[in-house]
């Protein structure tokens, strides 16, 4: 629930042509803000940038573009990243420039609040479930390392810095994820295959758990933190903090398949293959910190979100 008048605000959304970024850009436009999207479209799609937003095709590593846009912003939602784990592993130097260095530059150079899209990947293999924000940070690869470095920098900020916060996204799903993309989540892939009469593939026994959160709930968390930082600056309880963005309600992949099977017309075929090396078996977050600090709770259940996705897929 928004508590602020967004109509005079100049909002910069990096990665605004991506899945989450395009949803966020649409929402803040609806709230009346003046929105600028910066995206190099390496993984984003310019057609997803909502009408009414000012679209700049460029990379956050470009200091001239960065400086120009930051000087004209009242708040920055920093979502741009190389989110593909394989790409980060194949070219860690380039992904470090994007995911770590450019992100640190944005936090340092912005003269306004920054809301950073961190990731549950920074936790690595869970040592306890559910995962809260005090869980050890032991990422398994370059992507998690790079996100963790920026997350840590934000948590070290004092009152003399720009206001900033880090939101650690778990498994985000919703309309607009491209199932053919290497960036896509398992739910969009499952639904695409289920609604086109193709078998689903599960690696392992299907009893691995994940914490799936709907994109609309992610957007409301982003906006709640932004409003607090805009109104209170470094006195905001969000400043220098990190928050899990999840539901706290883990489900197995077998449960996901059951929900999809009950929602589609026809039979669903599911194939099981050997589990993949490095896959985390169980992941479940604790979102009570954000719930306690702000008027926020996840509102869209997995069943409701999946039903909506399936309905839209079948209408296409």
Could you tell me the two tokens for 86?
A: 């394989």
pLDDT at position 217? 97
pLDDT at position 278? 74
Closest CA to 283 of 216, 226, 208, 217: 208
Strands (E), the chain: 10-14, 34-39, 54-57, 75-78, 114-119, 164-169, 171-173, 200-203, 209-210, 212-214, 241-245, 251-252, 270-273
Sorted by where each starts, the structural domains of the chain and their CATH numbers stand as: 10-173+212-245 (3.40.50.720), 186-210+248-315 (3.90.25.10)
Q: Which residue has the tokens 């990422």?
A: 139
Q: Per residue in 60-117, pLDDT tens? A: 999 999 999 999 999 999 999 998 888 999 999 999 999 999 999 999 999 999 999 9
pLDDT at position 231? 96
pTM for the model stands at 0.94
**Are the C-beta atoms of residues 196 and 147 closer than 8 Å to each other?**
no
> Which residue(s) pair with 203 in the sheet?
273
> What is the end-to-end Cα distance of the chain in Å, rounded?
31
pLDDT at position 183? 54
Cα separation, 49 vs 41, whole angstroms: 11
What value does the mean pLDDT of the chain take? 92
Q: Can you tell me the mean pLDDT for 255-276? A: 87
């Amino acid at each position: 629930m928004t508590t602020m008048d967004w109509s005079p605000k100049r909002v910069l959304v990096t990665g605004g042509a991506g899945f989450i970024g395009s949803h966020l850009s649409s929402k803040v436009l609806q709230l009346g803000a003046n929105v600028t999207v910066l995206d190099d479209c390496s993984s984003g799609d310019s057609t997803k940038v909502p009408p009414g937003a000012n679209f700049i095709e460029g990379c956050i590593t470009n200091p001239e573009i960065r400086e120009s846009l930051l000087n004209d912003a009242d708040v920055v939602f920093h979502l741009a990243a190389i989110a593909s784990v394989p790409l980060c592993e194949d070219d860690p130097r380039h992904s470090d420039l994007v995911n770590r260095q450019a992100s640190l530059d944005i936090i340092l150079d912005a003269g306004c609040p920054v809301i950073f899209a961190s990731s549950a990947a920074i936790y690595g293999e869970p040592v306890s479930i559910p995962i809260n924000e005090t869980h050890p940070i032991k990422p398994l690869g370059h992507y998690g390392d790079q996100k963790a470095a920026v997350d840590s920098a934000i948590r070290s900020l004092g009152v003399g810095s720009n206001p900033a916060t880090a939101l650690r996204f778990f498994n985000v799903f919703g309309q607009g994820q491209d199932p053919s993309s290497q960036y896509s989540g398992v739910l969009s892939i499952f639904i695409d295959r289920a609604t086109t009469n193709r078998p689903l593939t599960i690696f392992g026994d299907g009893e691995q758990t994940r914490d799936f959160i709907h994109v609309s709930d992610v957007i409301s968390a982003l906006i709640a933190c932004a409003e607090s930082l805009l109104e209170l600056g470094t006195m905001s309880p969000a400043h220098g903090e990190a928050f899990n963005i999840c539901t706290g309600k883990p489900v197995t992949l077998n449960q996901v398949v059951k929900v999809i099977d009950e929602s589609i017309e026809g039979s669903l075929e599911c194939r099981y293959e050997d589990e993949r090396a490095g896959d985390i078996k169980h992941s479940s977050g604790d979102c009570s910190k954000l719930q306690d600090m702000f008027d926020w709770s996840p509102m869209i259940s997995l069943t409701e979100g999946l039903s909506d996705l399936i309905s839209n897929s079948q209408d296409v």
